[in-house]
Amino acid sequence: MPMRKVEISAATSIVVLTGAGISQESGLDTFRDAGGIWARYDIDDVATPEGFRRNPPLVHDFYNEQRREAAVAAPNPAHVALADLEKAWPGRFLLVTQNIDGLHEKAGSKALFHMHGTLDGFLCEACGKRGPWAGDMSTASACPLCGRDGALRPDIVWFGEMPYFMPEIYRALGEADLFLSIGTSGTVYPAADFVREARQAGAVTVELNLEASRRGHGLFDLEIEGKAGDSVPVFVDDLLEGRLF
């Protein structure tokens, strides 16, 4: 079946999903590649609410290190190309990232949801509020809002917790004409299911990844293999020049 046409028009909406692969060329490790973060740390210890209750200093150290690395990292051409696409696209555009680094913002992206939270935020378990955070966090850190200390956690969505912005994301997927998945292994739900949601809504689905993800196989109309820093700028250019669909 020939691929559906994607008009470059105010009526055409794009939803983009990114994962750790888009930040790899900015020097930030992915999770599941060889030597990746989950090869060095146990998910149960550092990415679950139970792990945090068991050993808060271990979890704070883990995210403090990531926050320091992300603070000095710079966006790469893939981040920049998506910010340019957002600015140039005449229709609706939404960027949903699973990443907790701030590289999309640094590249200029605005219509952006951090569905798994962000390193640059705190969540207070005493007052339940969230807000911006910079620097190291520890069990002694006081909540900037309620003043209570010892109740702060990084504003990260851990396994077993509900990601942020889900109603808005599902609404956008239900209205998408083009869905792009960039630099994600498609192993973590609900993000791994977004391609199916978009496809059911009639969207053209495209994967840009180092290697085509096995799970998404058959769900993508187009699979572009390669480093995101190379493939995304070319794809965005071709899309905006009407050379693709």
Secondary structure (DSSP) of 180-217: EEES--S-STTGGGHHHHHHHTT-EEEEEESS--TTTT
79 is catalytic: no
- To the nearest whole angstrom, how small is the minimum distance from the Cβ of residue 212 to ligand APR? 9
Residue 163: closest CA among 118, 109, 216: 118
66 is a contact residue toward ligand APR (CB under 6 A): no
Residue 228 contacts ligand APR per CB under 6 A: yes
The residue written with tokens 């792009």 in the block is: 180
Contact status: 73 vs ligand APR (CB under 6 A):
no
* Complex with ligand APR: residue 36 or 56, whichever CB lies closer: 36
Residue 121 interacts with ligand APR (CB under 6 A): yes or no: no
Site for ligand APR in 147-186 (CB under 6 A): 183-185
Strand partners, 206: 180, 222
Residues in the chain: 245
- Least CB distance to ligand APR at residue 147 (A): 30
CA max distance for the chain: 60
Q: Is residue 45 a contact point for ligand APR (CB under 6 A)? A: no
Q: What is the DSSP pairing of strand 178-182 with strand 93-97?
A: unpaired
Q: Which residues are catalytic?
A: 116
Which residues here bind ligand APR, judged by CB under 6 A?
19-21, 24-25, 30-33, 36, 98, 116, 183-185, 187-188, 209-211, 213, 227-228
